[in-house]
Structure 1
Amino acid sequence: MTVALAAVVAPFIVGVPAASAASADDITWSVTPADESGADDRGVIQQELDPGASRADFLAVRNLSRTEVTFALSAADGYYTDNGRFNMLPSDKESVDAGLWIDLPDSVTVGPNGTVVVPFTTTVPEGALPGDHAAGIAASVSSTGTDAGGSEVGVESRVGFRVMTRVTGDIVPSYSVSGVESRYDLSWNPFRPGSANTSFTVENTGNASLLVTGTTTIGTGAAVFPIDGAPRQELLPGESRSFTVAVADVWPTFFVPGSIDLTPTASDLGGDAVDVAPQSADASLWALPVPQLLVLLGVLLVVAALFWRRRRFTAALDRAREEGRLAASDSAAASDAELSSAATQGRADPAGTAPAEERR
């Protein structure tokens, strides 16, 4: 059974002169912008046109295989994937924008190890909106394969490049930030800070492409995005993308202030910067310092135990002193009683009670 055509799209190469891919039959090819004589050093075609204007350009298809190959040629609306890489709509999706503006042959046949230059034309409709419009041009081959269920499927392999058309008029870069959520990840080591993850969505609400950059600050930690080595995060007009930024070295202080500071950039076709206003969004969070509170509780328990022991020792010492004082008082009273008794006996015979011998 043959299943509807499935598209396998090779990555579009941005900023390098060529892209290549291999089909199931080991067909290898590249597609690049070109002039009349052959491939040039452009990786992306960038052009600025008035509504109703046209521009002629060229592409070069190079067949790196040992056999002659007929490549299907196509143009379609372009977009950026969630990871920031450029792609074009698959062949089973209809274009509604710049992909319809490009007129080129349906196919081209290229001999083994040969290159053919193909002309094409971009025509901007009269009512086109000012701003940036993206499309892709690709050369493709089709083959058949088998899916996981054993059914036969058609596979389209494509290689291509970007065509960025800026329609003249008022260029207004703008954007919005929404869906901000921050989450704290606790470190159970009370002497080490935890981390935070902040998620948010940026939407390009203007008519110029934006390169999204910024910094997320949470409490004592901060992180830039995108990180070094990550793909550029470019947004076409109308596109939105969700980001998650990890911020390390964040101490839990109950309420942890935070912010997302966006500093996107835009440029004209000459590479000169176009002013884009920075924007901040609140990213504060609550973080209970559980390990630190447990340590504090332990310290308080130790202090309380020492204080209790000291009170017991002081009370015992006071009792011993009181008992000693009482014992000393009782001993002194007993001594006084004995002395008083002896004195009483010494005064018991009054005058006239002398012994009989003396009375004679």
Structure 2
Amino acid sequence: MMVPSFPSHVVRGLFAAAAAFLVVSGPAAPAAAQTAGEDPGTVTWSVRPADETGEDGRSWVEQELDPGEAATEHLAIHNLSDQDVTFKIAAADGYFGDNGRFGMLPSDKESVDAGLWIAVQDEVTVGADETVIVPFTTTVPEHATPGDHAAGIAASVLSQQVGEDGATVGVESRVGFRVMTRVTGELAPAASVEAVATAYDLSWNPLAPGSAQVTFEVVNTGNTRLLVTGVVAAGGREVAFPGPDEIDQELMPGDRRAFTVTIEDVWPLVFVPGSVTATPTVVGEGEGAAVEPVTADAGFWALPLPQLFVLTGMLLLAASSLRGRRRSRARLEGKLAEAREEGRREALVEHA
């Protein structure tokens, strides 16, 4: 099947919409999309949390509700383009991807959790360079499990493009923010470290240490959202995860996240003790609440082959040198014995 090509303005719209949902710490950014029509124009817009009067400075919505309780929030849709635009509005389950960034299910995937709890009007028309405030209501089911549930809400524009094969392709560009709901009840934050695997890269320089790679998964086994940090230790050295240049890692209940940590300057000591210690903290209401650290064994075998080769060579040289000295001593003793015997023969001849 031929993959359709899209003009640059559509590509920019897709990337902007994706960025808006994947950014963890910032508000939803404006996106651009191409509307269908004979002389289409560029549509740009932003979506942010709001109250009844306008944007309120939040990056996303955090709420704590009892089972069966409902709460109304608002989103501000700002049409930055020079034409009236009708936006579709929808909510869906949210999640944190493997890269740690937040996203929401695409429109062709069915929600099964908090995305179904949000009721909002299907669409709204926003005038050029105007902002419209749209209310939405989260209603927690009576049977909802205590703990954290993630959803996203977005305003989108659908554009159409005709591919080289003549087929019409619909492209959805959307911008929104996360809606995090904590259902009251017994909270039980917990985590585990699983699937630990190790590898050791040997340095063939006998005077240089090697490096170890430790791969593992941290699993959120509780019912609250967790921020995961920790350390990997091996051979007397420690490395923190995530690294200083890596994004914070949040896990929803049931999530698992894979990490790979490299530890430099580890000497091959036949068996190198190691460990992975994860130290999760609760995010959201009750943020920073203590969670028991969890530790898993990460020891590994690291045979000191270069050092053994050097030691073997030294032993062979020593053995060869010892054998040489023994041969030299034997030859010397043999010559001394011959000289003594010759001296005795000469003495007998003189006295004959």
TM-score (norm 2): 0.88
Q: Of the candidates 38, 54, 79, which is equivalent to residue 70 of structure 2? A: 54
- Does 2:80 align with 1:64? yes
Q: Of the candidates 163, 183, 208, which is equivalent to residue 167 of structure 1? A: 183
TM-score (norm 1): 0.87
Q: Give CA-to-partner distance per residue, 1:148-191, whole Å, 9 cap, x none.
A: 98854322112111110001111100122221111111111211
Instruction: Report the counterpart of residue 27 of structure 2 in structure 1.
Output: 17
Instruction: Report the counterpart of residue 124 of structure 2 in structure 1.
Output: 108
Mapped to 2, the partners of 1:91 and 1:10 lie a distance apart of 13
Paired AA for residue 110 in structure 2: E
| SS of alignment partner, residue 280 of structure 2 | coil
Mapped to 1, the partners of 2:145 and 2:54 lie a distance apart of 33
Quick check: 1:72–1:139 contact (8 Å CA) kept in 2? yes
Query: In the TM superposition, what are the counterparts of 1:77-226 in structure 2 within 5 Å?
Result: 77-145=93-161, 152-226=168-242
Quote how far apart the aligned CAs of 1:95 are: 0.8
Quick check: 2:211–2:266 contact (8 Å CA) kept in 1? yes
Instruction: Report the counterpart of residue 321 of structure 1 in structure 2.
Output: 336
Q: Of the candidates 260, 277, 281, which is equivalent to residue 296 of structure 2? A: 281
Q: Give CA-to-partner distance per residue, 1:101-154, whole Å, 9 cap, x none.
A: 111111122222222211111111111111001000111111234779885432
Quick check: 1:87–1:136 contact (8 Å CA) kept in 2? yes
Instruction: Report the counterpart of residue 290 of structure 1 in structure 2.
Output: 305
Instruction: Tell me which moved more, 76-85 or 312-321.
Output: 312-321
Quote how far apart the aligned CAs of 1:75 are: 0.4
Quote how far apart the aligned CAs of 1:78 are: 0.5
Q: Give CA-to-partner distance per residue, 1:66-99, whole Å, 9 cap, x none.
A: 3222211110000111111111011011111111
Mapped to 1, the partners of 2:319 and 2:160 lie a distance apart of 79
Mapped to 2, the partners of 1:53 and 1:63 lie a distance apart of 33
Change (3 A) 1:55 1:245: same
Quick check: 2:225–2:284 contact (8 Å CA) kept in 1? no
Quick check: 2:28–2:175 contact (8 Å CA) kept in 1? no
Quote how far apart the aligned CAs of 1:305 are: 2.2
Quick check: 1:14–1:161 contact (8 Å CA) kept in 2? no
Q: Which entry has the higher C-alpha Rg, 1 or 2?
A: 1
Aligned residue pairs, count: 333
Mapped to 1, the partners of 2:239 and 2:312 lie a distance apart of 33
Change (3 A) 1:283 1:325: same
Mapped to 1, the partners of 2:163 and 2:150 lie a distance apart of 32
- Does 2:44 align with 1:28? yes
Identity of aligned residues (%): 56
Mapped to 1, the partners of 2:165 and 2:192 lie a distance apart of 44
Mapped to 2, the partners of 1:241 and 1:92 lie a distance apart of 25
| SS of alignment partner, residue 322 of structure 1 | helix
Change (3 A) 1:46 1:253: same
Q: Give CA-to-partner distance per residue, 1:317-338, whole Å, 9 cap, x none.
A: 112211211121221121122x
Paired AA for residue 259 in structure 2: F
Paired AA for residue 279 in structure 2: T
Q: Give CA-to-partner distance per residue, 1:51-73, whole Å, 9 cap, x none.
A: 11111111111122232222111
Quick check: 2:189–2:221 contact (8 Å CA) kept in 1? yes
Q: Of the candidates 254, 275, 282, which is equivalent to residue 259 of structure 1? A: 275
Change (3 A) 1:281 1:150: farther
Unpaired runs of 5+ residues, structure 2, are 4-12, 35-40
Unpaired runs of 5+ residues, structure 1, are 338-360
Query: In the TM superposition, what are the counterparts of 1:30-45 in structure 2 within 5 Å?
Result: 30-45=46-61
Quote how far apart the aligned CAs of 1:268 are: 4.5
Paired AA for residue 52 in structure 1: G
| SS of alignment partner, residue 29 of structure 1 | strand
Change (3 A) 1:78 1:321: same
Instruction: Tell me which moved more, 107-116 or 154-163.
Output: 107-116
Mapped to 2, the partners of 1:173 and 1:135 lie a distance apart of 20
Mapped to 2, the partners of 1:145 and 1:222 lie a distance apart of 53
Paired AA for residue 279 in structure 1: V
Instruction: Report the counterpart of residue 37 of structure 2 in structure 1.
Output: none
